[in-house]
Structure 1
Amino acid sequence: MTDRPVRTRIAPSPTGMMHIGTARTALFNYLYARHRGGAFLLRVEDTDRERSTEAAVDVIFEGLKWLGLETDEPAVFQFQRADRHREAVAELLERGQAYRDYMTAEELDAEREAARAAGRVVRSPWRDADPSTWPDRPYAVRLKSPLDGETIVRDAIKGDVTFQNTTLDDLILLRSDGSPTYNLAVVVDDHDMGITHVIRGDDHLNNAARQTIIYQALDWDIPVWAHLPMIHGPDGGKLSKRHGAQALTEFDDMGYLPETMRNYLAKLGWGHGDDEIFSDEQAIAWFDIIDVVSAPARLDWAKLNHLNNHYIRQADPVRLAGLVVKILKSRDVALKQGDETLIARTIPFVRDGAKTTLELADAVLFVLKARPLVLPDKTREQLADGELHGRISRLRAALASVSDWSVPGLEAGLRQFAESEGVGMGKFGPQLRAILSGGAPAPDLAGAMTALGRDESLGRIDDALSLSA
């Protein structure tokens, strides 16, 4: 196996959402393939025809695209390969590694009851039946599993996992209607796709034992198994709706960036020393499947938010403005031409405190307000005071004379004004902030005025002074 070029795959079923666990599995497959200079593939396991709608399949492609995981070959659709699956079953029958099972539904129910009572697995009486006794009725095809000994799953994460063959029943390969079953289809598809490493959730560990037997029966190379630990909620329980988001699209809707999710998901079960923040290139260089821990990982919202804030602070403001515009439009906020540019100009002054793009959208609202702004009642009452009104009027004149309309220039202008008035910033700063923002959240005064621009800032001050004249 080590001499073959590495080929990994993600093989989701179209269920209408891409679970965060599936996204993490896709990421680990992608990172390992890139780390080893191999190929990362996609197979859509769409044999459940009722659930496998075009929309459900699109969720898979859109989720991988949003997460930034590009596959190296066209996707394979499992349902389209049913004839190939049946061909493999025919080979197993010819090899004597499978058999026809003519048990009726009633007979199968009775055998299950007997097996349960005896503490054994189901065994069909047709396993070694003489072909001359075969009846003329539909039949399933079962794998002729070993009756004794053991099957060892050599797992890159969990080590060797041993299954006693007496606990493994004769797996159905083909149903009586001729449709292939999951474990058979997975083995045939992985073999034909040249998959060298099967990296998936550890809820598939039992399947690995049965699939190993199928590989052996067909005399095919067994891939390297690597079963990932589950992702639990913050309380250590199985991740569920009570913990918040489960689907990748929900994290997108909640304002998390894809680079955040790549970094964060990589840390769920794997790590590189004490490094918490790393680039895609570093993750590819460092990632090895043998370094994945076997214990379940826990979703930590505080860490996720901290990481997202980091990437928001690093992101291109123009890109963030595009995301913010989508959010504002979804809230039915009326936008006019030029607002996206204004938002991009504002983002550098407000993003340090934003944990998500939703919070970022809240933080830019102050620059979008139309004049005249509605001032908070408290601010209107304060401006009615002649002393404060006069001070704001003098402040307006001082600001108009500032030649460098930037954060440093405005900070210097505000300091000089406070000194000339013989007061601290607290004597006019809160009122100026309310005048500039209409009471909405806003950055520091210099940042707010830089974002608004000279004309808009002075215009808002003029409006406030005229209201209280």
Structure 2
Amino acid sequence: MANANVRVRFCPSPTGNPHVGLVRTALFNWAFARHHGGTLVFRIEDTDAARDSEESYQQLLDAMRWLGLDWDEGPEVGGPHAPYRQSQRMDLYKDVAKKLLDAGHAYRCYCTTEELDARREAARAAGKPSGYDGTCRELTAEQKEAYEREGREPIVRFRMPDEPITFNDLVRGELTFTPENVPDYGIVRANGAPLYTLVNPVDDALMEITHVLRGEDLLSSTPRQIALYKALAEIGVGNGTTPSFGHLPYVMGEGNKKLSKRDPQSSLNLYRERGFLREGLLNYLSLLGWSLSADQDIFTMDEMVAAFDIEDVNANPARFDLKKCEAINADHIRRLDVKAFAEACEPWLKAPHANWAPENFDRAAWEAIAPHAQTRLTVLSDITANVDFLFLDQPVEDEASWTKAMKEGSDALLRTAREKLAEAEWNTDALKAAVVAAGEEHGLKLGKAQAPVRVAVTGRTVGLPLFESLEILGRERTLARVDAALAKLAG
């Protein structure tokens, strides 16, 4: 059932290149918002000055635009809760932290890193939980003064309730966290900088977020945030409601390990550079934890939006399968009309991808070959090598292809094929008949007979349909390339 009051957020940190796990999170939030006719808030979590960069910020915006995941509030769009970059909201966080301290929901902690480490080790050795032990929870004024005279600079810790926290995860069902497993936690660094643990819930409260859909790796922080939402409501920050949570399954890579930014196949840029269609990539990423139906893997984003329900997401880890991703992208390439396909290929028909001179590009030949290429491509970047034989003076010299195709007797076959091609009408059926006849004279079936012809004309053993390619290349250029191959064989 649609619910226009739904407000979700996608809030990445601008560190490094966008990766497919991040895109999957953005996609599920976008689809959920669009399904309900709600609002997608795009928020940038850039409070870590040491790791965040303007370049990564721009890449995030560019990635969302390329993917077609439009947002209703956020950078470049604005909205009632601007600004949407956390680095521009620091005064607000400091004010909230002070209110939490004044109300007793937070306290200053003077423990040093060395003391914390020592107590954690002791707790582990005793078989007890190793989280913060509450040493500074109830300090007297005198104790605080003594620490400050020592020159200790305190962090601010949030005071967790001494009772279990239970919530219904939209993906995983009811979950309960006991107090010993959710200790008090830091919300402000010693230098006064607010931590993610504070700014994320504060912004969710102020921006009236109704549903938080995020990765499973953040599940352990949820009880802490639920407690903080309650405290924020008590001090008048936000509208007093706690969002519903849904934690998306891990995306796994090779060897049962979580797909990380360091894995080559995780980079969104890789898929853009290889020429994946955004529809194909998003279709595949949606299958990492969700499905439209048991018997339909290929669908449009409109179909996904119409059907998407966060409660249908599977809690089990999802494995990233590059081969399946490519296969789904290939299906989406087939779905394009020919004109849209030809336009989508344009970037790979120009420098720096094209290995031919710009003036050699023949648009009529390209438009003639495009329908045949569309049935063969997995990704758009494959087009360059598939059609370069049309626009190069000589085909690419691929020695591996030459060695594979030019077996003993290939020269005799090529001579016969040349004779029959020279006499044939220049259309696909007649050209095929010519090569079939040449093969029969040498006791070869079509597959073996056409291989030397293909390599002579295109330079490669694998490519677009041969006889359609010969027709488009033309009689004169085809025969000249066969002659050149015969000269090389005679050699």
TM-score, normalising length from structure 2?
0.81
1:360 aligns with 2:375: no
1:337 aligns with 2:363: no
One-letter amino acid matched to 1:19: H
Q: CA deviation at 1:226?
A: 0.4
CA deviations over 1:192-226 (Å, ceiling 9, x no partner): 22211110001101111100010011223110100
Aligned to 1:165: 179
Greater shift in the superposed pair: 312-321 or 210-219? 312-321
Corresponding residue to 1:433 among 445, 454, 465: 454
CA distance in 2, matches of 1:242, 1:272: 30
Aligned to 1:349: 372
Q: CA deviation at 1:248?
A: 1.4
Aligned to 2:70: 70
Q: CA deviation at 1:258?
A: 1.6
Greater shift in the superposed pair: 62-71 or 295-304? 62-71
CA deviations over 1:47-97 (Å, ceiling 9, x no partner): 111221111222222222232212222232112211111111122123221
One-letter amino acid matched to 1:325: L
Aligned to 2:45: 45
C-alpha change, 1:463 and 1:278, in structure 2 (3 Å) is closer
CA distance in 1, matches of 2:114, 2:411: 89
Aligned to 1:299: 320
Aligned to 1:212: 226
How many percent identity over aligned positions? 31
Contact 1:103 1:124 in 2 (8 A): no
Q: CA deviation at 1:447?
A: 1.5
One-letter amino acid matched to 2:221: N
Contact 1:317 1:345 in 2 (8 A): no
C-alpha change, 1:418 and 1:304, in structure 2 (3 Å) is closer
Aligned to 1:321: 345
Query: Residue 337 of structure 1 aligns to a residue in which SS?
Result: helix
CA deviations over 1:342-371 (Å, ceiling 9, x no partner): 445423223433323343332222222205
Contact 1:323 1:357 in 2 (8 A): no
CA distance in 1, matches of 2:331, 2:453: 30
Aligned to 2:470: 449
Contact 1:100 1:140 in 2 (8 A): yes
1:259 aligns with 2:271: no
C-alpha change, 1:163 and 1:346, in structure 2 (3 Å) is same
CA deviations over 1:131-162 (Å, ceiling 9, x no partner): 46642564322212112x21113210011110
Corresponding residue to 1:144 among 159, 179, 203: 159
Q: CA deviation at 1:32?
A: 0.5
One-letter amino acid matched to 2:217: D
Listed as ranges, the matches of 1:172-211 within 5 Å are 172-211=186-225
Contact 1:383 1:465 in 2 (8 A): no
Greater shift in the superposed pair: 199-208 or 7-16? 7-16
TM-score, normalising length from structure 1?
0.85
CA distance in 2, matches of 1:98, 1:435: 77
Q: CA deviation at 1:467?
A: 8.2
Q: CA deviation at 1:373?
A: 8.5
Q: CA deviation at 1:271?
A: 0.7
1:123 aligns with 2:133: yes
Greater shift in the superposed pair: 27-36 or 365-374? 365-374
Q: CA deviation at 1:265?
A: 0.5
Aligned to 1:406: none
Aligned to 1:405: none
1:153 aligns with 2:161: no
Contact 2:345 2:380 in 1 (8 A): no
CA distance in 1, matches of 2:439, 2:20: 58
Query: Residue 353 of structure 1 aligns to a residue in which SS?
Result: coil
C-alpha change, 1:390 and 1:26, in structure 2 (3 Å) is closer
1:90 aligns with 2:98: yes
CA distance in 1, matches of 2:362, 2:95: 58
Q: CA deviation at 1:11?
A: 1.3
CA distance in 1, matches of 2:304, 2:32: 10
In the alignment of these two chains, the number of paired residues is 453
Aligned to 2:393: 370
CA distance in 2, matches of 1:154, 1:371: 66
Q: CA deviation at 1:185?
A: 0.5
Aligned to 1:8: 8
CA distance in 2, matches of 1:422, 1:382: 14
Structure 1's unaligned 5+ residue stretches are 403-408
Q: CA deviation at 1:432?
A: 4.2
